[in-house]
């Protein structure tokens, strides 16, 4: 092993998802990515750039097959590939396939094609690098997701559940996105976990596609639904003669307001009537839904969810890696789009996040209004370095302006006042524990700088 390589600094990015049908082909972080690569082109550090999976959205390119997809990428993003060539002439660039670009592991031709742009493609599921006296284990992470696991790595016929979701749903969304009142369907890739996709579509329909007159007519009722439900119960008690005081007192008070009181009374009556109807229908539907769910679970039809837990499977995988490789101290993955650091068995589990837009769900405080999915950017590069016997994990923020306010309607902005998501990145983390002195080094030596 080259001892000088132990002082190498690693910059890790993942989940760029570059490429896709029609609207999915837009790179909203294009300038930020080019600037980041240009900075590495002139760095004096002994550095290596690791692109840890899902650099490309090959699953979402459905009109071409095989190596022809690479031709489409080069033709569509010539500036990006030329910048990769320039950056790769200064520092090594290593690319690992993810699930969305698993085809990189299928066709050997991708190795030569990417090499023309100074990118080294590793066609395996994972690889390691030394950092100080420790080892970093890199993998994209989809192999611990039952819905995106590639059972036979490198098989051109590999078709996990996620493949069908992205080739049928995500790619179709990219083809239809510009037909809406606002070009929002293309953000389907940012919806994680995928269980939220139906709720997200409902939300965008209500706030974006619904006729504005109808929406603003529904907003007061939906906001007042909780109050109306309580009033419906009170009205029922009044009709039964159990408790008449609230209705009598309200009626007397509103009578003093004249015409305004009559209007308020009418609105309350309509809301209470509708809320009461929902309650009458909703109670038996609730028990029916619960019984159906129990029956479905009994047969094991939906034994697993649509997505994987963002942390637990990776903590378990890291624990196994650390046990098998005594010098392994960093487990670095992507896939879940959530930048994070957690300590596991004396090592660190590091997620490199995503460069896609992130959508943060904000449920309504009251009423029955659909949740709002607040957009943000959380672009980052993980920087792994060694100082003496320590390994340092830094998250370097890539500055990008927040999404335009026009991405949210006035109603959405009002409902999320004071509820913006926290987009801060994890703080610096220092791993101070030294590996066993007699442990064999398990890392693969990094490629020489070009």
**CA quadruple 215, 221, 225, 229: dihedral, nearest 10:** -150
Interval 158-181 mean pLDDT: 89
Percent of the chain with pLDDT over 70: 84
User: How confident is the model at residue 290, as a pLDDT?
Assistant: 73
Of 228-232, 258-262, 436-440, which gets the smallest average pLDDT?
Answer: 436-440
Q: What is the 3-state secondary structure (H, E, C) of 346-400?
A: CEEEEECCCCCCEEEEECCCCCCCCCEEEEECCCEEEEEEEECCEEEEEEEECCC
Does 26 score more than 50 pLDDT?
yes
Interval 207-217 mean pLDDT: 87
Which are the contacts of 184, defined by CB distance < 8 A and separation ≥ 6? 177, 204, 208, 407
Of 70-79, 253-262, 304-313, 398-407, which gets the smallest average pLDDT?
Answer: 304-313
| pTM of the shown model | 0.82
∠ at Cα 250 (244, 252), nearest 5°? Answer: 100
User: How confident is the model at residue 179, as a pLDDT?
Assistant: 85
Per residue in 237-278, pLDDT (tens digit) is 777 777 777 767 777 776 777 887 777 767 777 766 766 666
Residue 367: Cβ within 10 Å count: 16
Angle formed by the axes of helices 30-41 and 78-88, nearest 10°: 20
- Residue 336's SS3 state is coil
Does 228 score more than 70 pLDDT?
no
Distance between CA atoms of residues 132 and 333, nearest Å: 20
∠ at Cα 11 (5, 17), nearest 5°? Answer: 135
Per residue in 105-135, pLDDT (tens digit) is 999 999 999 999 999 999 999 999 999 989 9
For 426, 439, 445, the CA distances from 3, given in Å and listed in that order, are 30, 16, 9
Mean pLDDT for the chain overall: 86
Interval 128-156 mean pLDDT: 94
Q: What is the CATH number of domain 3-184+306-431?
A: 3.60.21.10
The DSSP code for 56 is: B
Does 198 score more than 70 pLDDT?
yes
CB burial readout 48-85, b (16+ within 10 A) else e:
bbbbbbbbbbbbbbbeeeeeebbeebeeebeebbebbe
Tokens 């840890």 sit on residue: 52
User: How confident is the model at residue 315, as a pLDDT?
Assistant: 95
Distance between CA atoms of residues 266 and 261, nearest Å: 9
User: How confident is the model at residue 394, as a pLDDT?
Assistant: 97
Q: What is the 3-state secondary structure (H, E, C) of 233-260?
A: HHHHHHHCCCCCHHHHHHHHHHHCCCHH
Distance between CA atoms of residues 166 and 182, nearest Å: 22
Tokens of 254: 């509103």
Per residue in 278-288, pLDDT (tens digit) is 666 667 766 76
User: How confident is the model at residue 353, as a pLDDT?
Assistant: 96
Per residue in 75-104, pLDDT (tens digit) is 999 999 999 999 999 999 999 999 999 999
User: How confident is the model at residue 428, as a pLDDT?
Assistant: 96
Is-contact 174 22, C-beta < 8 A? yes
Distance between CA atoms of residues 289 and 266, nearest Å: 34
First to last CA, the chain: 18
What residues does 120 pair with on adjacent strands?
Answer: 94
User: How confident is the model at residue 439, as a pLDDT?
Assistant: 46
Distance between CA atoms of residues 144 and 129, nearest Å: 21
The DSSP code for 107 is: -
- Which position has the higher pLDDT, 410 or 320? 320
- Residue 208's SS3 state is helix
Distance between CA atoms of residues 141 and 14, nearest Å: 11
Classify residue 221 as exposed, middle or buried by CB count within 10 Å of its CB (0-12, 13-18, 19+). Answer: middle
- Residues of each domain in the chain carrying CATH 3.60.21.10: 3-184+306-431
User: How confident is the model at residue 436, as a pLDDT?
Assistant: 57
């Amino acid at each position: 092993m080259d001892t000088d390589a132990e002082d190498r600094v690693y910059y890790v990015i993942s989940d760029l998802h570059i490429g896709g049908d029609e609207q999915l082909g837009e790179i909203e972080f294009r300038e930020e990515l080019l600037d980041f690569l240009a900075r590495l082109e002139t760095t004096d550090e002994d550095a290596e750039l690791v692109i840890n999976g899902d650099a490309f959205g090959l699953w979402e390119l459905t009109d071409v097959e095989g190596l022809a997809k690479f031709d489409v990428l080069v033709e569509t993003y010539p500036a990006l590939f030329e910048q990769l060539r320039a950056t790769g002439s200064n520092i090594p660039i290593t690319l690992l396939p993810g699930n969305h670009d698993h085809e990189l592991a299928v066709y050997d031709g991708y190795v030569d094609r990417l090499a023309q742009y100074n990118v080294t493609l590793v066609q395996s599921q994972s690889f390691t690098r030394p950092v100080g006296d420790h080892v970093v284990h890199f993998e994209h992470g989809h192999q611990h997701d039952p819905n995106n696991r590639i059972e036979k790595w490198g098989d051109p016929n590999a078709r996990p559940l996620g493949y069908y979701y992205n080739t049928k749903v995500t790619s179709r969304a990219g083809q239809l996105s510009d037909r809406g009142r606002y070009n929002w369907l293309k953000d389907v890739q940012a919806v994680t976990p995928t269980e939220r996709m139906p709720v997200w579509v409902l939300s965008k329909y209500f706030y974006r596609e619904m006729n504005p007159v109808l929406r603003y007519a529904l907003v007061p009722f939906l906001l007042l639904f909780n109050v109306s439900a309580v009033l419906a119960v009170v009205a029922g008690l009044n009709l039964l003669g159990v408790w008449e005081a609230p209705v009598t007192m309200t009626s007397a008070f509103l009578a003093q307001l004249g015409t305004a009181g009559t209007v308020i009374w009418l609105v309350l009556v309509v809301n209470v009537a509708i809320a009461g109807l929902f309650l009458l229908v909703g109670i038996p539907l609730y028990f029916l839904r619960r019984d159906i769910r129990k029956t479905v679970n009994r047969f094991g039809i939906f034994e697993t969810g649509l997505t994987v837990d963002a942390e637990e499977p990776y903590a378990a995988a890291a624990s196994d890696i650390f046990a098998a490789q005594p010098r392994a101290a960093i487990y670095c993955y992507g896939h879940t789009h959530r930048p994070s650091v957690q300590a596991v068995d004396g090592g660190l589990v590091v997620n490199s996040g995503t460069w896609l837009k992130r959508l943060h769900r904000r449920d309504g405080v009251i009423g029955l209004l659909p949740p709002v999915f607040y957009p943000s950017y959380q672009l980052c590069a993980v920087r792994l370095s060694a100082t003496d016997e320590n390994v340092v994990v830094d998250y370097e923020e890539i500055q990008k302006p927040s999404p335009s306010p026009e991405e949210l309607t006035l109603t959405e902005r009002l409902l999320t006042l004071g509820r913006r998501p926290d987009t801060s990145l994890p703080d610096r983390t220092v791993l101070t524990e030294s590996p066993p002195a007699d442990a064999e080094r398990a890392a693969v030596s990094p490629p020489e700088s070009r």
